[in-house]
Chains A and B, each alone.
Chain A
Amino acid sequence: MTITFRRPRLTKRQRRSLIIGLLFISPAIIGFFMFNIGPIIQSLQYSFTRYNILQPPRYVGLNNYRFLLEDRVFKIGIQNTLYMVLIGLPIHLVFNMLMALLLNTKIRGLSIYRSIFYVPSITPVVASTIVWLWIFNGQFGILNEFLRFIGLSPIGWLTDPKWVKPSLIFMGAWFGGNTILIYLAGLQDVPHDLLESAELDGANAVQKTFKITLPMISPVIFYTIIVNVIGYFQYFTEAWVMTATRDGAAGGVANSAMFYSMYLYQTAFQQFKMGYASAQAWILFMIVLVATVILFRTAGWVYYHAEN
């Protein structure tokens, strides 16, 4: 902003429009400094302190970061979160794309299907997670009932450390219907004449999908990857509701469902270690920053056609 002010040769009209423009966006400017930049800097400052809210923050240098390196739960939290980003997310996106491709075959009753896939993603997470808790229930859950029915032994969906993350991914697919609709909207924008001319050239369905359809909607795919990667690094509510116990602890058996944001929440708001939690927040910031930079740097596969 200071750059624009320093620029010497602004005509009177330009200066006027600058002032009016800044007035219009002034809520954004205030919000940007008060709710984004300010807190980011403060959070960095707190990360070098010990602060339990009751006593004023005390400077401890890099101690918080040093402790984090040896914090076992923190490490598990990173591992579990990466599990969701690297395994859960690709599964979801591929699955959602397959569903969108199926729905794009001029299927009858499309608007009904669209509603069916979309509605779960607008239900309150807690309310629908409660029914999933019951579906996954080890003793009375319908899933295990089904396993018993076909002669398999029941699974501790939420209690077996091996199964809890796959269970969360399974449930997450149910919440992800809005991605199906985003893909479907993209697919419907792919020009028909392109597909037809490829067909005349003898391309089969698979070739058409990989050579035309997917490249044409690659910007949409890229968008969903960015949004969901950032979203999964903040993964909280589903896992929290699924694993919270009566005494307020969460994270599942042996921290098998302890995710980054959950540990951060526990550190800050249950143990009131604000400095230690701020260090975690800053590391999260760095991780997400690096992840987005990598995603944008490797975005060579994203194809923007001329109109855009």
Chain B
Amino acid sequence: MTAAIPWRQNRLIQDRIKRTIAYTIVFIMAAAYIFPLYWLIVTALKTDIEIFQQPPPIFPPNPQWHNFGESTTYIPFWRYMWNTIAISGLTVLGTVLSCTFIAYGFARIQWPGRNFIFLIYLSTIMLPSQVTLIPLYLIFRDLGWVGTFLPLVVPHFFGSALYVFLLRQFLLTIPQELSDAARIDGASELGILWHVMIPLMRPALAVVALFTFVQTYRDFLGPLIYLQNQQDWTISLGLKLFQNMYGAQWQLMMAASTLAMLPTIVLFFFTQKTFVRGIALTGLKG
């Protein structure tokens, strides 16, 4: 028994050393993760001379705050922002709407062959989008949709297997008695979905909406293929293609990039809990 005391102390010291090492590594890594964002903002605040100074000033002596304003006229920033938000908003609407119905059909109604069909549907998650890219482009072209938002938005009104899966998992946890009680009261399936399920599904729907928004907001390949008129571009297209066309005004590009990041970052800080819950949900599906 007496020997246990020094062993204990020894262990406490070891624990403390380990913890200090862990803290230090995490702190350094966190600094490394922040640095590019810091460098983005700092570069946005430099003059066009300071940009090319060697060694580069770690913080500009006279921050050029007006660069932010200028960057919104260097590219048609607000126009692109509006396009991006419009496309993302419609995509969120389509995804949430369609996935709610589909998930309800897969989770709350017993019909023969349900699980088998769900498995087939789920396998589409693993289909690389490049495989269907060309035929879809040709179909949308025949429809006269290329050059509009439609090819980017309309497919989302027909569900997305990943989010159907997520909502289905959530719906399966709701006790069957709730549905049965409503059915005895004569409620239709639509009525149950609307009055009973949707109020309970809100946290899961928020996850789907947020993830869809961020995903669409970040997209580059879709808009690159379908948006051909310069006034329809999203912010990602605008940032890249303007740089190609007029050469990089680095400080203005950085300012515009900073502004382009703000919506998702602000959204994250206001809805952090939803994001964290969503991440836990997506990881759980193994």
Contacts and interface: CB of A to CB of B under 8 A. Distances in A.
Partners in one complex: yes
Interface of A: 1, 3-4, 7, 10, 14, 17-18, 20-25, 27-28, 30-32, 34-36, 38-40, 42-43, 46, 53, 99, 102-103, 105, 107-108, 111, 113-120, 122-128, 130-132, 134-135, 140, 142, 145, 149, 174, 177-178, 181-183, 185-186, 205, 218-224, 226, 230, 233-234, 236-237, 240-241, 244-246, 248, 260-261, 264-265, 268-269, 274, 277-278, 281-282, 284-285, 288, 292, 302
A14 B273 CA distance: 41
B55 A182 contact: no
B59 to A, nearest CB: 13
A144 B164 CA distance: 47
A43 B135 contact: yes
Nearest to B277: A185
Nearest to B214: A122
Given A140-B52, A282-B131, 11 more contacts: A27-B102, A35-B132, A39-B135, A40-B127, A43-B135, A105-B19, A116-B30, A130-B40, A185-B279, A236-B220, A278-B134
Given A116-B34, A127-B239, A128-B261, A145 B132 contact: no
26 contacts: A14-B112, A17-B111, A40-B132, A43-B132, A53-B138, A114-B276, A116-B34, A119-B265, A119-B268, A124-B235, A125-B236, A127-B239, A127-B257, A131-B37, A174-B33, A182-B279, A223-B285, A230-B128, A234-B128, A248-B244, A261-B130, A265-B224, A281-B131, A284-B131, A285-B128, A292-B126
Interface in B227-245: 235-237, 239-240, 243-245
A268 B137 contact: yes
B109 interface: yes
A3 B155 contact: no
Given A14-B111, A134-B43, A220-B283, A115 B272 contact: yes
Nearest to B108: A24
Give the residue among B18, B23, B106, B279 with the most A Cβ atoms within 10 A. Answer: B279
A34 B132 CA distance: 10
Interface stretch (B1-9, B60-68, B113-121, B200-208): B113-121
Contacts of B217: 124
Contact of A27 (B36, B101, B135, B275): B101
- The bracket for how many chain B residues form the interface is 35 or more
B235 to A, nearest CB: 7
A277 B134 contact: yes
Given A99-B29, A130-B257, A284 B130 contact: yes
Contacts of B129: 234
Give the residue among A35, A99, A108, A114 with the most B Cβ atoms within 10 A. Answer: A35
A285 B135 CA distance: 14
Contact of B134 (A10, A111, A118, A268): A268
Given A113-B26, A268-B137, A222 B101 contact: no
Chain A residues touching B, majority SS: helix
Nearest to A226: B126
Given A130-B254, A131-B40, A36 B132 contact: yes
A130 B251 CA distance: 11
B111 A18 contact: yes
Contacts of A237: 220-221
B76 to A, nearest CB: 16
B132 A24 contact: no
Contacts of B23: 107-108
B269 interface: yes
B135 A46 contact: yes
Nearest to B36: A131
B159 interface: yes
Contacts of A281: 130-134
Nearest to A241: B240
Contacts of A30: 158
Contact of B102 (A18, A24, A268, A288): A24
Contacts of B34: 116
Contacts of B221: 236-237, 261, 265
A20 B257 contact: no
A4 B126 contact: no
A140 B36 contact: no
Contact of B114 (A3, A21, A178): A21
Give the residue among A34, A122, A186, A281 with the most B Cβ atoms within 10 A. Answer: A122
A28 B164 contact: yes
A284 B133 CA distance: 12
A111 B272 CA distance: 9
A21 B257 contact: no
Nearest to A34: B158
Interface in B40-87: 40, 43, 51-52, 54-56
A13 B18 CA distance: 63
Interface in B121-168: 121, 124, 126-139, 141, 155, 157-159, 161, 164
